[in-house]
Amino acid sequence: MLKLPSDESQVTTQESVIAPVIAPVIAIDGPSASGKGTVAEKVAGALGYHYLDSGALYRIVAFAAYRDNIKWNQADALGDMAQNLDVAFKQGDIFLEGDRITEALRSEEISRGASEVAIHPTVREALLKLQQSFRKTPGLVADGRDMGSVVFKDARLKIFLTASVETRAERRFKQLANKGIDANYDQILADLQARDLRDSQRSAAPLIQTDDALLLDTTHCSIAQAVAFVLKVSQKDCN
């Protein structure tokens, strides 16, 4: 008997199920500040696909924990809370229980908190189905750390997008400077190094380049070049 996963739309006739339509996924994983979010969003726009910023979900858990006085190391309380998140993504904005929290999620405190709450299997399990529910036709581009290795193992295309840590620190520094935010390059570099270490050394869904992922090193290439690369390989892959 054919069992359909919940993320498949089924095509039926009066007699039987004839074929499941499985939405294709492009998984883009990589370290902090590699530009994967920008690239993923642009690729999704160009293909008319849905977009999942999975890091935003970890940020939302950190934000809600901060608000509710739950500490980053309270794995069970964090997991319970992550299971019952009332979140909505609407036109580039993020809402928690109806409150718009888009900018609040980007603060340094919440960025650090997101990487701390993300180490707990309780939190990762609680967010798994929510992430998979974003898979809808005509397709999904998902970015994060474990899109290709855990959440969408059967992704049609997997990209591991990275850049040297110095380049990533420079990019983040310029991004903050452009927003008029006072930033310290050395501090940003140290913070990225700490986050890289935490992401790649945790036991639950560590950041890794899987064997079936294509490496895209953007140290010497622009966002536009990275987008063009992903679109090119995605077409090759789909035909």
Q: Which residues bind ligand CDP (CB under 6 A)?
A: 32-33, 54-56, 58-59, 111, 114-115, 118, 144-146, 195, 199
User: Shortest gap between Cβ of 164 and ligand CDP (angstroms)?
Assistant: 15
Structural element, H or E, at residue 73 = none
Peptide bond into 138 cis (omega under 30): yes
Structural element, H or E, at residue 11 = strand 8-12
- Is the CB of 9 or the CB of 73 nearer to ligand CDP? 73
* Tokens 């809600």 sit on residue: 64
User: Shortest gap between Cβ of 116 and ligand CDP (angstroms)?
Assistant: 8
CA distances to 23, 119, 213, 231 from 74, in Å: 36, 11, 33, 41
User: Shortest gap between Cβ of 168 and ligand CDP (angstroms)?
Assistant: 9
- Is the CB of 15 or the CB of 103 nearer to ligand CDP? 103
- Is the CB of 55 or the CB of 139 nearer to ligand CDP? 55
Confirm if 129 and 7 have CB atoms less than 8 A apart.
no
User: Shortest gap between Cβ of 137 and ligand CDP (angstroms)?
Assistant: 22
- Is the CB of 177 or the CB of 238 nearer to ligand CDP? 177
- Is the CB of 143 or the CB of 234 nearer to ligand CDP? 143
Structural element, H or E, at residue 60 = helix 54-67
Q: Map residue 201 onto helix, strand or coil.
A: helix
- Is the CB of 58 or the CB of 63 nearer to ligand CDP? 58
Confirm if 131 and 57 have CB atoms less than 8 A apart.
yes
User: Shortest gap between Cβ of 15 and ligand CDP (angstroms)?
Assistant: 41
CB atoms within 10 A of CB 150: 18
Residue number with the shortest CB distance to ligand CDP?
Answer: 55
Q: Map residue 141 onto helix, strand or coil.
A: strand
User: Shortest gap between Cβ of 11 and ligand CDP (angstroms)?
Assistant: 31
Strand positions, DSSP E, 23-167: 25-29, 50-53, 87-90, 93-96, 99-100, 140-144, 157-162
- Is the CB of 37 or the CB of 139 nearer to ligand CDP? 37
User: Shortest gap between Cβ of 171 and ligand CDP (angstroms)?
Assistant: 11
